[in-house]
Amino acid sequence: MTDRPNAARPGPVAETILYNGVIRTMDAANPVAEALAVSGGRIVRLGTQTEVMALRTEATDLVDLGGRMLMPGLIDFHVHLLSSMIARLHTTALDTADDFDTILGKIEAACARQDGRDWVVAGAYGARALGRMREPGALAALDAVSRGRPVAMQHLSGHGYFANSAALRIAGIDAATPNPPDGEIVKDAAGQPTGLLIESGAWPVTDAIPELTAAGKAEAARASIAYLNSLGITGFADASASLEALQFYRALDDAGALTCWAAFHLALSPTCSGYAADEVKVMREQRRELCGPHMNADFAKIFLDGVPSLRTAAMLAPYASAPDEPPVATSLTLDELTEAIADFDGDGLGVKVHAVGDRAIRMVLDAVEQVRRRNGPDGPQHQIAHGQFITAADIPRLAELNVLHDMCPPLWHPNSASLTHERMVGAERYATVWPVRDILAAGAAVVAASDWRTIAPDLDPWEAMCGLVTRRDPTGRHEGVHAPDQAVSITEVLPLYTTNPAAAMRLGHRTGRLAPGLSADMVMLDRDLMTIEPLAIAQTKVLATWFEGRLVHGSA
């Protein structure tokens, strides 16, 4: 450091200078810098050490990056943040274990923990554990590790529970309880409940689990932001937000604790579960007033089809695993979908439509085409969420119609969920899954997001990035490769986590890249993503995260 503090010169001064780094800015005008100066939460200069040190004063904090890579904070454009953090904090993770003794061990540990709660709620156990749960003695074995606490654990599919005797007692389930419509209370040869509860048979138990208090939810909201910051994330879009979620994040923002840019897709459509007409009216009419300075709620959500694992994704061709099954119905007809999007479009709301199957995806594009014709071509950008099975013919329509492809969750490499999908639709259809290279080549707007916590208990953007580059399982647990011809380079992947989602959140002028005038939202990594082996991307560690120039995770 040869530059001297320079307090006399007029012009911008730096509150903080980060120097001696490999700063990958994601800004085309100035892709790499050595140093960066921050003032008032914004970047005031980027460049060589000498250029940036010219802004140093006596009061400037100096941060030595030690030659590490610094990049813009990541943005997770599709996450179910509050509900996922509540589940993370308040359910015991069974990690889809298939071995009954392993499950009992986890329950025993959870029941021994004094967490101030009575119930132990756990999920999810693997499909093969069901065999032992059906055998005599399974309920007694669960009771023996429960210390008298009520225990309820969910099956992987979400369509069944295994509960202990204390939980059954509180729920009022005994030998005399009849099966409800659309459900079963599984009983043994003597007519006693076994603890297995199928579909609506589980409702008395799930209804008996005490709801988290408002204070507990507020704490989960706070924890969710700390969790994102720890992963290097400084922006998120909640894919289907309730009025309650908006209010918890607003309270954080008012307290200066929302250290993330936050966009909300309002659950306004009747296709969203938990649809309550009075709340919807408030959310839609007061969406601007409900938001704090780091929030916007200019998006709506519609569910059109389901998921491949249950064969409810709307495909053009029959499922290879059930060739005679009739095609699944979408939740809305083309006309209904067009009306719904047109209504939101006219109000300036960008609409995210959950569409997984190639038939559902085509329907969204057909609907947006009609909306553009009706409302004019310059309406808000709309979005296809997931878009896993888009056909080659529909790819060019994304850019033509200004429809964003929100690729999530990370199923573009082999894992237990994607391998199930492959079995369902057949290897031939799966050979063209997630055509990322073709979609980028067609000039479409694309983001890669987590959909936390639908496929994994942990959110890991670095593992997901690695999967986009290699199309292989970075953990090595699953063999094979999905559509390797669609792999893309890390240079192509980084915009999917930074500039592209920032633009989709209508925040491209505030965040997503490092440039003068933009918010100082940055992460320091333990490795330079551009120079390492692709498989090593998955183990990336975030050493420090800054939001508006404030250190919000780690140390530097």
Q: Which two tokens stand for residue 189?
A: 């040869």
Distant-in-sequence, close-in-space partners of 253: CB < 8 Å, separation ≥ 6: 262, 291, 292, 293, 294, 295
How many Å apart are CA 19 and CA 34, to the nearest integer? 6
**Residues in binding contact with Zn ion, number by CB under 5 A:** 2
Cβ closest to Zn ion, residue 451 vs residue 473: 451
Q: Is 198 exposed, middle or buried (0-12, 13-18, 19+ CB in 10 A)?
A: middle
**76 near Zn ion, rule: CB under 5 A:** no
**Contacts with Zn ion in 491-520 (CB under 5 A)?**
none
> Partners of 184 in the beta sheet?
198
Query: Which one of residues 298, 451, 473, 521 is an interface residue with Zn ion (CB under 5 A)?
Result: 451
In the complex, minimum distance from the CB of residue 500 to Zn ion, in angstroms, rounded to a whole number:
18
In the complex, minimum distance from the CB of residue 384 to Zn ion, in angstroms, rounded to a whole number:
12
In the complex, minimum distance from the CB of residue 237 to Zn ion, in angstroms, rounded to a whole number:
10
**26 near Zn ion, rule: CB under 5 A:** no
In the complex, minimum distance from the CB of residue 454 to Zn ion, in angstroms, rounded to a whole number:
6
What 3-state DSSP class applies to 337? helix
Cβ closest to Zn ion, residue 451 vs residue 463: 451
Nearest-CA neighbor of 525 among 61, 76, 71?
71
Nearest-CA neighbor of 43 among 502, 546, 528?
546
In the complex, minimum distance from the CB of residue 451 to Zn ion, in angstroms, rounded to a whole number:
4
**34 near Zn ion, rule: CB under 5 A:** no
Segment near Zn ion (CB under 5 A); pick from 108-116, 172-180, 372-380, 447-455: 447-455
Cβ closest to Zn ion, residue 345 vs residue 451: 451
DSSP characters over 204-215: HHHHHSPPPPHH
Cβ closest to Zn ion, residue 308 vs residue 534: 308
In the complex, minimum distance from the CB of residue 408 to Zn ion, in angstroms, rounded to a whole number:
7
**304 near Zn ion, rule: CB under 5 A:** no
Q: Which two tokens stand for residue 502?
A: 């920032």
Nearest-CA neighbor of 167 among 191, 213, 201?
201
Neighbours of 15 (CB within 10 A): 17
Cβ closest to Zn ion, residue 354 vs residue 472: 354
In the complex, minimum distance from the CB of residue 523 to Zn ion, in angstroms, rounded to a whole number:
24
Query: Which one of residues 239, 302, 502, 524 is an interface residue with Zn ion (CB under 5 A)?
Result: 239
**302 near Zn ion, rule: CB under 5 A:** no
Cβ closest to Zn ion, residue 57 vs residue 454: 454
* CA Rg value for the chain: 25
**353 near Zn ion, rule: CB under 5 A:** no
Q: Is 524 exposed, middle or buried (0-12, 13-18, 19+ CB in 10 A)?
A: buried
In the complex, minimum distance from the CB of residue 78 to Zn ion, in angstroms, rounded to a whole number:
6
Which residues lie near Zn ion (CB under 5 A)? 239, 451
